[in-house]
Every structure is written in structure tokens, then in C-alpha cells.
Amino acid sequence: MPTELLKFDTHIHTNASPCSSNKPERVVDKAVQAGLGEIVIKDHDRISGVLKAFEYNKPDQTGLIINPGLEVTTDCGEIGIDFANFEELERILELKEDGITSFRRLIELCMEIQYEDDSTLLKDLHHPYDFANPKRGFNFDKAQVEMGLSNIKEVMDLFDFTEINCSSTNIREVQFAVKLATQYMIPIVRSTDSHFIPQIGRYYSTTLKSSARNAIISGDLDNYPANTPRPMQFVRSVNYSRARYYRLRSWLLKKYRKSFGDFK
């Protein structure tokens, strides 16, 4: 067991996402500078950014572990894929039709992958609700119908963990994520959802486990002791004014890149 806390962030973007300006190489450099031991790079429906970061990073020199991930746009909302390998992510991307992936087909494929002996893939719900734009949040009712489930608990059971996204959110969204995790007893991590370099390292989770994945599946996180209620004090410690600034900046960047052909 490590004697020092492992600092990790499960939600960082590169400029492979239309809403981020982060060059993959700068992501690596900033993560190392911030003292992060592990990160998950999750771009929107693309893996080109994490591939470049993976190739650039020299873990023997930097001490940084990069875990490939993906933020998948589904017909029920955005779903996070974490700790996968590139072959698994390619299989997931093949599900996309006209920019959208079927939530049911995604879950079925992920479950198939997770049953494979060497798979480390985890699924997370990182945008359970968006009070500014409810259509952007996760559609629990539709997911329940698509999967033929009886209640919301069965929907939450499809996920391995949920996230508090601290750098681009508001307090009600964070409170809602904590409430879900508490009510349905699934692990919750705090992440940045970084779209810009200064956000990286501002928030993170810590653990004494050997890896971020082991910390999540065991519930051995600084957020709360395993099997106990999650504290709310961290919700109040987030700088929500700064988060609103980065949220607006990300929205404007996305509009600009799509309008002027900088992103296709």
C-alpha cells in the first residue's frame, strides 16, 4: 500500500472535444506540474486526444498514468467510459449513428466488455442533471424504459460510479450528484471536467489505494469512508463563480469552432 496519497482526476478534455482548447501535450505537462498521479482523458465521442497524450507521456519520467476514456453522447444523455483500452473504445465508437449512440446498445456492449477477463472498463454518470439546460442532463425515465427496468435504482446500478464535476458546474448540480450517490450508495469522485489548462489540478480525488480504479471500486476515497454517508462540506468549498466563467467560456469556444469550421 502506498504511504502517500494518490491524487487523480477522472475527467479531463483535450482539444479533440469542441468545447476544449487543451493541447494533449499541455494536459500532460499541467497534470504532472499539479502533482496528479493518474488522470482519465475523456473527450466527446473521440479518442484522438487521449492517443496523442498517451504517446507524449513518459510515465517512467513523469510518474503520471494516463487512463483512456470517452464521453459518449447517447440518446439518454452523456455517459463516461473510464479505464478502458483503445480497442474497447474503438468498439464503443462503432455504435455511433449520426452523432448519437444508443444508450441501451452502449450499456449492453460495456457489460459484455466488463465480463471479459482482462477488461478494466468502468462506466460513470457525470452529468446527472443540468439545471440551466435540463435537456442536457441524463434522462432517467427514458433510460429506464429503454433498458426495461423497474425503477431509478436499477438505472443507477448500471453505473460503477458518479462524479462531482467541480470546474464547470453550479452548486445544485453538485448537490444532485451527491444526493444520487448517497441515496443509491454508489462511489462518487470529485473531478474537474477540465476544458482549459488552468482547471487541471484545481480539484481532484485522493486515495491510499495503488490506483484510481482500485480506489473507486473499493470505495476507498477521501470523499467518504466506505459504506458511510457522503459529507456535503466539499460542495460548499467549490468556487462556483469561477465555474460559471469556465462554463461560459467553454460554450463560446464550442459555438466558435463549429461556426467557423475549426471543428467537424
pLDDT digits (tens, 9 = 90+) for 34-69: 999 999 999 999 999 999 999 999 999 999 999 999
**Sorting pLDDT into bands at 50, 70 and 90, what band is 131?**
confident
How much is the pLDDT for 69? 98
Q: 202-246 pLDDT, tens per residue?
A: 999 988 889 999 999 988 886 544 444 444 556 777 888 999 999
Q: Which three cell numbers stand for residue 248?
A: 461560459
Residue 138, domain member (yes or no): yes
pTM reported for the whole predicted model: 0.92
Residue 207, domain member (yes or no): yes
Distances (CA, A) of 222 to 150, 188, 219, 228: 33, 10, 9, 12
State how far the Cα of 88 lies from the Cα of 119, in Å rounded to an integer. Answer: 9
Q: How many helices (H) and strands (E) does the chain have?
A: 11, 9
Domain interval for residue 221: 6-259
**Sorting pLDDT into bands at 50, 70 and 90, what band is 3?**
low
How much is the pLDDT for 234? 67
State how far the Cα of 204 lies from the Cα of 19, in Å rounded to an integer. Answer: 21
Lowest mean pLDDT across 14-28, 125-139, 163-177, 208-222: 125-139
Residue 264, domain member (yes or no): no
Residue 14, domain member (yes or no): yes
Residue 12, domain member (yes or no): yes
Q: Which three cell numbers stand for residue 264?
A: 467537424
Say how many domains are in the chain.
Answer: 1
**Sorting pLDDT into bands at 50, 70 and 90, what band is 264?**
low
Residue 114, domain member (yes or no): yes
Residue 174 has pLDDT above 80, yes or no: yes
Residue with cell 448540480: 173
Average pLDDT over the chain reads: 90
**Sorting pLDDT into bands at 50, 70 and 90, what band is 33?**
very high
Residue 158, domain member (yes or no): yes
State how far the Cα of 212 lies from the Cα of 224, in Å rounded to an integer. Answer: 15
CATH number, position 149: 3.20.20.140
Residue 1 has pLDDT above 70, yes or no: no
* Neighbour order of strands in the sheet with 65-68: 65-68, 38-41, 6-12, 205-207
Short-list 237, 60, 259, 233, CA closest to 166: 237
Q: What torsion, rounded to 10 degrees, do the Cα atoms 137, 143, 146, 149 define?
A: -170
Q: What torsion, rounded to 10 degrees, do the Cα atoms 75, 105, 152, 12 define?
A: -70
More confident of the two residues 179 and 212: 212
Residue 66, domain member (yes or no): yes
How much is the pLDDT for 202? 92
Of all residues in the chain, the percent with pLDDT exceeding 70 is: 92
Region 149-153 average pLDDT: 94
